[in-house]
Amino acid sequence: MSLFDRLFGRQPAAGSDPLLGKALDRAVEVVEPKLALARDWRNRLAPGVSAAIAIARAGAQCLQQVHDLSAANWSSDPLLRAVFANADSVSQVLGRMRELQRFLRAPGAGTEAYAVLGMSFETRKALGSALVGDQVRSEVERTQANFGDHRIRIVAASAEEMRQAAGLRIFNELLLGVTLELAKADERRKELNVERSLLQARLRMLEHNESALSEEFGGEAVDTADPLAERAEMQRRLDELSAAMAQYGGGTEGLDRQLEIVRDALLSARELVRIETRTLRVDAMNTVLDEGQTAGQTIEFVHIQAPRIARAFAAVRVQRADVPAGGLSIAAVERTL
C-alpha cells in the first residue's frame, strides 16, 4: 500500500495536506490525463480535489464499529440479524464473496480479514398489526427496513487498512462521477456543434437564395414575407448556440473549461453526496420502531446517498474458518455458466 493509500483513513495534519499532491495526480489520471497540460492546473483543481478528499475521509471515518460476520454470531449481533434473514444466509453470502476468498487464499494471509459489507437499503410502508395502548389493532401503518444485495469489495488485513481502502474507494468513485459529467459535457458540445453547423448552412443558403432554402427545408420555418426577420432570428439562434458551446469549451479553451467542469463537479459533490451514520431501532421482523420505545434493538450503519448510488455499509471482521470452502466451487460454476 502506497503513501497515497495510507493517508486516506487519517485526519488531515495541521497546515498543508500531504495527500493533496498525490490526489491531484490521481484525479487527472482517472478523469482526463490531458488536463495536466492546462496552465496552473494544480492550483485551479486543488479546491475541488480538497473537497473530494474531505468527503472520502469523512466516509472512511464513519466505519468505526466492526461487527464479527459469522453464522454463529448472527443471533447475538442486532445488525447481522437485521441485514441477514438467517444464520445460513451469512455463510451463503460469505461463500459468494470472491474478493474475500482471494484475499484469504493469498500466500501469507492471516486467519482473519476486515471488510466493508455493502448492502442495498430501503424502507417500505406496510400495513400490520400493532399494540396500541392495551389493544392489538390491525392495519396499522408500519415501516419495514429491508437490506439485500450484499457485496464485499473492500478487504484488508486490519481495521485501519480497511478504512484507508474505503477512503480511496470513495475518492475514486467521486472521480468516476466527474468523468461521467465530462463525458456528458462532451456529448452535449458535439450536439451543439452539429446544430450550429446546420444553422450556419441554412443561413448561408438563405443569404444566397431564399427560394432554394424554402424548397430544401420544405418551407416550414421560412417566413418568405420577411426574410430579414428570418435572418435575424437565425442569427440570434446562432449566437445562443455559440454562447452555449462556450460553456463547454472549444478549441484552445477546451482544456481550461474541462478543468473548471471537473473542479465544479468535485465541489458540488459536497452537496450531492451525503455520508452519514444512521441509527434505527428495529424489532425481530425489521419493523422500524420509535426511538422512545424500549422494545427491539438499535442498529447502526453507514448510509451513502449520491446521485448514482444509495447503499448501506458496515465494517465487518471475517474469520477464515467461517468462509465456506464450497464458495470456491460456486464461483467457478458461476464463471462457466
Partner 1 sequence: MASLWLTNLPADVTDDEIASWLEKYGFPRCDEIMRVPGDGSRPGAVITFADLDEEVLRRLQPRIDGVFVRNKTIRAQVAPPPRAEPR
Which phi and psi (to 5°) does residue 132 adopt? -115, 110
Distance separating alpha carbons of residues 182 and 253, to the nearest angstrom? 15
108 is an interface residue for partner 1 by CB under 8 A: no
31 is an interface residue for partner 1 by CB under 8 A: yes
Nearer to partner 1, 278 or 308 (CB): 308
As a whole number of Å, the end-to-end CA separation of the chain is 35
Distance separating alpha carbons of residues 62 and 277, to the nearest angstrom? 7
Measuring CA to CA, how many Å separate 8 from each of 53, 104, 153, 310?
A: 8, 24, 17, 22
33 is an interface residue for partner 1 by CB under 8 A: yes
Nearer to partner 1, 173 or 230 (CB): 173
207 is an interface residue for partner 1 by CB under 8 A: no
| Total residues in contact with partner 1, by rule CB under 8 A | 19
Selected range binding partner 1 among 25-33, 65-73, 139-147, 238-246, rule: CB under 8 A: 25-33
How many beta carbons lie within 10 A of that of residue 23, not counting itself? 23
CA-nearest of 195, 99, 90 to 153 is 99
Nearer to partner 1, 28 or 280 (CB): 28
Nearer to partner 1, 69 or 152 (CB): 152
Answer for which of 58, 66, 130, 180 binds partner 1 (CB under 8 A) is 180
184 is an interface residue for partner 1 by CB under 8 A: yes
191 is an interface residue for partner 1 by CB under 8 A: no
188 is an interface residue for partner 1 by CB under 8 A: no
CA-nearest of 253, 314, 309, 318 to 278 is 314
How many beta carbons lie within 10 A of that of residue 34, not counting itself? 12
Nearer to partner 1, 154 or 316 (CB): 154
Selected range binding partner 1 among 9-17, 169-177, 216-224, 298-306, rule: CB under 8 A: 169-177
What cell numbers appear for 106 in the block? Answer: 493469498
Distance separating alpha carbons of residues 208 and 201, to the nearest angstrom? 10
Contacting residues toward partner 1, per CB under 8 A: 29-31, 33, 153, 169, 172-173, 176, 179-180, 182-184, 186-187, 308-309, 335
